[in-house]
Amino acid sequence: MFSCLCRLVARLQPSISQSCASVRTSSYKSSLTLDKLYPKSDTNSMTQKGTKPVAKQEDAFSGVIPLHDLEIQSCRSSGPGGQHVNKVNTKVEVRFNVNKAEWIPDWIKPKLLEQQQNRINKNGELIVTSEKTRKQILNQADCLDKIRNMVFQASVKPKELEPWEQEQIKQREEAAKQRSMEERRRRSLLKLKRNGDFL
């Protein structure tokens, strides 16, 4: 019995190895693959796991905020809502260190720190809260949206002024100074008249 089985296995082994090799070479590929859906994009970067979006010096902010770089906490919300609001943690607080955030380009960070200095603690963490809705997930999305808008706002570069625009600004500043001096002079003369020291 055992010898019959050995002969059968020996006879079938070449055909089994050939079928395994054909299965290995011809794998199933769906018609909805990444390279067909997005033909002009780099699919290798989409499929690589564990890669963080690292922003270069002059890159623009992509709008992608990696959740693993954020510290997300939830707590009790205030305001109306009856007894339910006292039981459920719906308010969301999101914080992250601006200087350590690799997804924000380096040239945006100083402007973001300057613009949002009231939201940044002594550890350099930007803190954003939301209690807009009674759903925790919606408040978290609102916090992410706020952060995204802050970074986009900090990434706006000031427009280069034309020479005639610079001249116009200079003339306006000089006119404002002149008006201020005239107003001060007028007020001082008015005070002198009131005191009766005016000759």
* 84-132 pLDDT per residue, tens: 666 778 889 999 999 999 999 999 999 999 999 999 999 999 999 998 8
> Which fold is adopted by the domain 52-154?
Double Stranded RNA Binding Domain (3.30.160)
- Position 76 scores a pLDDT of 82
Put simply, whether the predicted model's pTM sits higher than 0.85 gets the answer no
Cα gap 137→123, rounded to integer Å: 27
Is the pLDDT at 47 greater than 50? The verdict is: no
pLDDT at 133: 86
Find, among 21, 20, 22, 3, the residue nearest to 11 by Cα: 3
Query: Residue 78 — pLDDT band, cuts 50, 70, 90?
Result: confident
Both structure tokens of 46: 């989409």
Range name among 40-44, 46-50, 93-97, 175-179 with the lowest pLDDT average: 46-50
Query: Mean of the per-residue pLDDT values for the chain?
Result: 79
Domain spans of the chain? 52-154
